[in-house]
Amino acid sequence: MNAADSRSITIIGAGLAGALLATLLAREGWRVDVYEKRGDPRLQGYEGGRSINLALAERGRHALRQADADDAVMTQAVMMRGRMVHTSDGRQQLQRYGRDDSEVIWSIHRGDLNITLLNLAEQAGAALHFHRRLDTVDFDAGVADFVDERDAGRQAIGFDSLVGADGAGSSLRAAMMRKTDLGERTEFLGHSYKELEIPPAADGGFLIEPNALHIWPRGRYMCIALPNDEKTFTVTLFLPNEAAADNADPSFATVRSGADARALFERDFPDALPLIPDLEADWERNPPGLLATLYLQRWHIDRRAVLLGDAAHAMVPFHGQGMNCAFEDCVALARQLISQPDRAAAFSAFEAERKPNAEAIQAMALENYVEMRDRVDDPDFLLQRELERALQERHPGRFVPHYSMVTFMLIPYALAHRRSEIQRRILVDATRGRDSLAQIDWDAVDAAVMQQLDVLVDAA
């Protein structure tokens, strides 16, 4: 292998992670080729299909800064200060994510973000190849075969190493599985989603509060709405796939038509119904989206191939961290590739660093679904959140709220998960049988914090 070959890499997938990784490596002088099965969205519009709006948090922004992409991306982002909870009796309550507007997340449209990152990758020197679907891989010969589905034309290319950034349905992962067992396991949630839309107001503005993630929690199901920079909201309804034994709750088995959907909204989301004028048409047009968690025992095959992002660890969207986690993957993989010439060692070190963190955020995303749909309007939960804020003030740097650790800091997800479990036990024990902070045994809870939690230092 000559020196030029040792700094060449082939990325499968020109989505968010593929484009960011291409930028990071091309800026360091690597020869980067990116192959994408769809057409160029900059020429023919975004073909990514339906997507729950993306929540950009500090982890993702930190990764974007490494590629000098943050400024370009943030021109399209809408700030979300917290959850705007819509209770069944029509009341609204904003539950802030952080202490002030320095601790917020950002809603961003996947298509706009993808186009921005593709432009940056190309400017950095990456070669982008569209209408190229990965069909087969000969790992021993180092040859990947692609198909142009417009005319069934085929193209075989030689590769040094392949990176799978091609999402949950990864073609590269499938090819790797034909070569060796990666220990793949997929757990479906048992719930799916439908996407709807709130249009702009007559004056061109937002119809509801724009700087919030709106939630209509209803126990085993919920509706959410995220703002877009064109003054619309992407609305996502989450329902169980199957009806409950008592048929008390709606499900995709019982809500089948646009008329059924209207009846559901009239009963359970009456304040949202007037905001969605095309409810029936949206319902009939958009098939349900599946929700699942993908687990792999291995992410790479020696120096020949490695997976990242959803291709390695797809997760449910309820912590808004899928993209942020994938962007962290890109930074970690680029760092390993740049810092050591042994490609197999780089892939192995990347997997060892990121796999425990991916598994931690996968677990936290599943936990957050229950919180969002069933707990945000629960009195016990609200008292625990009140105590959490109080302990944050009493023990700054030591008691750091779960959401802050995941969303506003760069510490490993695995560390955030471990500390969150400790803090949850402290909160539950301290509030059990109590109705207000006035009843809290402050000496006991302060002692528990000091004994069980060290001062937390953020990652660089």
Give the pLDDT confidence of 275-303 residue by residue, as tens digits. 999 999 999 999 999 999 999 999 999 99
* Portion of the chain with pLDDT greater than 90, in percent: 87
Rounded to whole angstroms, the Cα distance separating 453 from 397 reads 10
* pLDDT at site 380: 85
For the chain, what is the domain count? Answer: 2
**Per-residue pLDDT, 276:** 97
Residues 12 and 67 in one domain: yes
Q: How far apart are CA 114 and CA 81, in angstroms?
A: 24
- In a domain, residue 196? The reply is no
* Single-letter residue type at 239: L
Q: Is residue 361 domain-shared with residue 301, that is, in the same domain?
A: yes
Q: Give me the torsion for CA of 417, 65, 12, 31, rounded to 10°.
A: -140
Task: With CA atoms as reference, report the closest residue to 233 among 241, 242, 223.
Answer: 223
**Does residue 280 form part of some domain?**
no
Give domain status of residue 420, yes or no: yes
CATH number at residue 17: 3.50.50.60
Q: Which domain holds residue 310?
A: 8-48+60-74+110-186+291-367
- For the chain, give the mean pLDDT: 93
Residues 438 and 304 in one domain: no
Do 448 and 300 fall into the same domain? no
* Final residue in a domain of this structure, among 367, 401, 421: 367
User: Do the domain assignments include residue 226?
Assistant: no
Are residues 296 and 154 both part of a single domain?
yes
- Are 331 and 420 found together in one domain? no
- Quick check: 49 pLDDT over 50? no
Q: Is residue 274 part of a domain?
A: no
pLDDT tens, residue by residue, 64-86 = 999 999 999 999 999 999 999 99
Residue with the bigger pLDDT between 287 and 371: it is: 287
pLDDT at 430 over 70: yes
Domain assignment present for residue 309? The answer is yes
Same domain, 158 and 42: yes
Residues 362 and 381 reside in one and the same domain: no
249 confidence band (pLDDT: 50, 70, 90):
confident
pLDDT at 375: 66
429/358 same-domain check: no
> Does residue 318 fall inside a structural domain?
yes
- How much is the pLDDT for 374? 63
User: Do 177 and 130 reside in the same domain of the chain?
Assistant: yes
What's the average model confidence in pLDDT over 437-452? 97
**Cα atoms in the Cβ-side hemisphere of radius 13 Å centred on 360:** 20
Question: Which of 325, 346, 367 is where one domain is finished?
Answer: 367
Per cent of the chain over pLDDT 70 is 96
On the question of pLDDT at 382 being above 90, the answer is no
Domain for residue 213, yes or no? Answer: no
Q: What is the pLDDT of residues 133-167, one digit of tens each?
A: 999 999 999 999 999 989 999 999 999 999 999 99
On whether both 68 and 174 belong to a single domain, the answer is yes
Do 319 and 442 belong together in one domain?
no
